Amino acid sequence: MTTIENILNRRSIRRYTDTKIDTDTMHTLLTCAMAGPSCVNARDWSFIVVDNKDLLRKLADCNGRPASMLPDAAAAVIVCGDLSRAFKKAREYWIIDGSIAAQNIILAANELGIGSVWLGTYPQMERVNNIRHLFALPEDIVPHSIIALGYPDEKGNGDKLLYEENRVHFNRW
Amino acid sequence: MTTIENILNRRSIRRYTDTKIDTDTMHTLLTCAMAGPSCVNARDWSFIVVDNKDLLRKLADCNGRPASMLPDAAAAVIVCGDLSRAFKKAREYWIIDGSIAAQNIILAANELGIGSVWLGTYPQMERVNNIRHLFALPEDIVPHSIIALGYPDEKGNGDKLLYEENRVHFNRW
């Protein structure tokens, strides 16, 4: 599977088999997360891997209705920003750097046959604060997104809208 | 090249040959940009492709010293948020959605032998406003990042720090 095929064919997967994700595979996903660019190479993120069922249930409760599949996932990776490492002149780059890490996880997972769905947390501050509380996070650590992961038990949606000509402008708006 | 090899081996490329990026290739990069997930599938982005040399010089002036290679790039894609399409309950998801689009461009480009460097624009508002002015953008359109693109005339930095064990937590902080 080429990267371009991966990007174009990836679908959000919300139903999973009971198969676990092994330690080496999770290590690969996290290595990919940490291989993306970050603002001034600040690497301003941290990751919480959750595979405890009780904790997945609590995490689902933290993140609203769209996270209801979490207890059935093999694992979740909570991508967090680390504001203590963020670019001091413009800390909000942490949001971009966390997004890059999360997208790398999703694409690497898809190549390995692991389905995923991106669950938005930041900037919905109730969700952010619920997760902060659940894990008693240090003040500088901000939950960004949750990536639910598992071997697929569905195909995901079929056709996906791709290129839209009216979204592209050449040399002028 | 697998996706994982792509993610792990990608380097920021700031020196380019004179070779242009053809129309079909640019279409592929933009299709990948638009294939990422977005919050509630809002697809809240637009893209400005710049390959006019004079405009690349002006764009470099807009985006500070780190953008100084832009006049030598074959092209740049300005990833913009479209706030009119953003999730109404939490518009700031546009920052994440734009990041996903930009990372897809970078990975697709790397697979096609095209080098790139991600130039941060948002949240540095002077840069944002400079670009808004240069292109007379509508109010809802916010410059997010510039991806400079070109066939590589350098290898990029060698070793890259990848997995850091102290950034990963299992089932608790």
pLDDT at residue B82, rounded to an integer: 98
Q: What is the C-alpha to C-alpha distance for residues B143 and B134, in angstroms, rounded to an integer?
A: 11
CA torsion B29-B31-B32-B34 (nearest 10°) is 130
Exposure b/e, B42-66, CB count within 10 A at least 16 = b: bbbbbbbbbbeeebbebbbebbeeb
Question: Which residue of chain B has the CA closest to A12?
Answer: B37
* pLDDT tens, position by position, B40-94: 999 999 999 999 999 999 999 999 999 999 999 999 999 999 999 999 999 999 9
The CA–CA distances, whole Å, from B29 to A8, B23, B144, B147 equal 11, 10, 17, 11
Q: Which of residues 39-78 of A touch B (CB under 8 A)?
A: 39, 43, 45-52, 55
Range A63-69 contact pairs with CB under 8 angstroms and sequence separation of 24 or more = A63/A119, A63/A121, A63/A127, A63/A130, A63/A131, A63/A146, A64/A124, A64/A127, A66/A119, A66/A120, A67/A119, A67/A146, A67/A148, A69/A14, A69/A15, A69/A16, A69/A117, A69/A148
Q: Is some CB atom of chain A closer than 8 A to the CB atom of B16?
A: no
Q: What is the ipTM of this complex?
A: 0.98
Q: Which of A4, A12, A40 to mutate to test the interface with B (most CBs of B within 10 A)?
A: A4
pTM attached to this predicted model? 0.98
Q: Quick one: how many helices (H) and strands (E) in chain A?
A: 5, 5
Angle (nearest 5°) at CA B21 between A169 and B135 = 25
Q: Residue A73: which pLDDT band, with cuts at 50, 70 and 90?
A: very high
Q: Which of residues 94-133 of A touch B (CB under 8 A)?
A: 95-96, 98-100, 103-104, 106-108, 110-112, 118, 120, 122-124
Q: Which of B168, B128, B144, B161 is nearest to B8 (CA)?
A: B161
Averaged pLDDT score across all residues of chain B: 97
* pLDDT tens, position by position, B141-173: 999 999 999 999 999 987 888 999 999 999 999
Q: Evaluate if residue A157 carries a pLDDT over 90.
A: no
* pLDDT tens, position by position, A85-138: 999 999 999 999 999 999 999 999 999 999 999 999 999 999 999 999 999 999
Q: What count of other Cβ atoms lies within 10 Å of the Cβ of residue B22? A: 10
Residue with tokens 């990026």: B21
What tokens does A52 get? 């405890």
Candidates B3, B10, B45; nearest CB to A108: B3
pLDDT at residue A161, rounded to an integer: 85
Q: What is the C-alpha to C-alpha distance for residues A114 and B79, in angstroms, rounded to an integer?
A: 29
* pLDDT tens, position by position, B94-107: 999 999 999 999 99
Half-sphere exposure of residue A20: CA atoms within 13 angstroms, side-chain side: 7
